[in-house]
């Protein structure tokens, strides 16, 4: 299907897309959300404290991470620049299956790469909880994360985040708007996790636990690091309630201000359930709560 002025639409979208470099983390993409230097990307793109980015015209800036929410996998960066070519944003609730989708990003070092496809669905995806996604059959690769998914008019309808099977999943633009209007969140543990089945060797000690979240990575100077959680640990839940979905962890972390959360987890030979107290809502929490 031919789209009138498609080349110009694609070029404008490229100008609103940035390359993000996080030290030691490779590169990703971001979207210029406002002309005064506000950039939206994925939280998993900017795990490093030192972030720089490059604009379409080659200019480079050091960026400040203003807000980062791993639960929603969104982050806001700020740079000292004005009159930037901001992206036009559409209402993602109006997107319908079968519409043309355009993705711009920087996959595998190719800056401003474009791919097209059609919208498959907008809503939750089986196995990923109740979160809503803009699902499209566009081809994404490492480096596309944080970049725009747009409609045929070049208006952003989502932030490209990951791939599930043959579908690209993007965080809907309406979710991004809500994130920006809600302000900062401190519901941050500082771990990358993956749902797993609890090992059978633990059945005699915690027969009620069949689901867990394996810690794949712990961010330095995070609440999880301060609590001595380690890669390989399996989070089971709180002392009051077991986890049954990934979303259960984020519900436990919700809140604001300094607070303590008590988590149960498995480690090593998984022969016993351990407990740890995690301090949330405090920057650079000290290592005063050790795993028990």
Residues involved in catalysis: 44, 73, 145
Q: Which residue, among 70, 51, 54, has the nearest Cα to 190 in the 3D structure?
A: 70
> How would you classify the pairing of strands 17-22 and 259-266?
unpaired
Sequential DSSP letters for 57-85 = TS-EEEEEEEEEETTTTEEEEE-S--S--
Handedness of CA 7, 12, 15, 18 (dihedral sign): negative
How many Cβ atoms sit within 10 Å of the Cβ of residue 288? Answer: 9
Whether residue 23 contacts residue 54, with contact meaning beta carbons closer than 8 Å, is answered with no
28 contacts: CB under 8 Å, gap ≥ 6: 19, 20, 22, 41, 42, 45, 46, 105, 106, 143, 144, 145, 146, 147
83 contacts: CB under 8 Å, gap ≥ 6: 35
β-bridge mates for residue 158, sequence order = 149, 172
């Amino acid at each position: 299907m031919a789209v009138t002025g498609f080349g110009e639409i694609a070029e404008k979208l490229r100008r609103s897309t940035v390359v993000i470099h996080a030290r030691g983390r490779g590169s990703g993409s971001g979207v210029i959300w406002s002309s005064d230097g506000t950039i939206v990307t994925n939280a998993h793109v900017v795990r490093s404290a030192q972030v720089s980015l490059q604009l379409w015209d080659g200019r480079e800036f050091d960026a400040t991470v203003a807000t980062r929410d791993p639960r929603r996998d969104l982050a806001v960066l700020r740079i000292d620049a004005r009159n930037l070519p901001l992206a036009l944003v559409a209402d993602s609730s109006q997107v319908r299956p079968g519409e043309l989708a355009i993705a711009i990003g920087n996959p595998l070092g190719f800056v401003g790469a474009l791919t097209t496809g059609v919208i498959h669905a907008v809503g939750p995806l089986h196995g990923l909880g109740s979160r809503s996604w803009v699902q499209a059959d566009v081809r994404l690769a490492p480096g596309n994360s944080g970049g725009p998914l747009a409609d045929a008019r070049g208006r952003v309808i989502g932030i490209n985040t990951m791939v599930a099977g043959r579908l690209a999943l993007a965080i809907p633009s309406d979710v991004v708007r809500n994130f920006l209007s809600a302000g900062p969140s401190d519901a941050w543990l500082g771990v990358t996790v993956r749902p797993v089945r609890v090992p059978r060797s633990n059945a005699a000690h915690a027969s009620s636990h069949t689901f867990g979240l394996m810690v794949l990575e712990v961010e330095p100077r995070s609440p999880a690091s301060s609590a001595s959680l380690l890669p390989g640990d399996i989070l089971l839940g709180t002392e009051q309630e077991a986890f049954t979905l990934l979303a259960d962890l984020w519900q436990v972390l919700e809140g604001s201000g300094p607070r303590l959360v008590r988590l149960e987890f498995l480690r090593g030979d998984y022969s016993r359930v351990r407990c740890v107290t995690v301090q949330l809502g405090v920057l650079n929490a000290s290592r005063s709560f050790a795993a028990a």
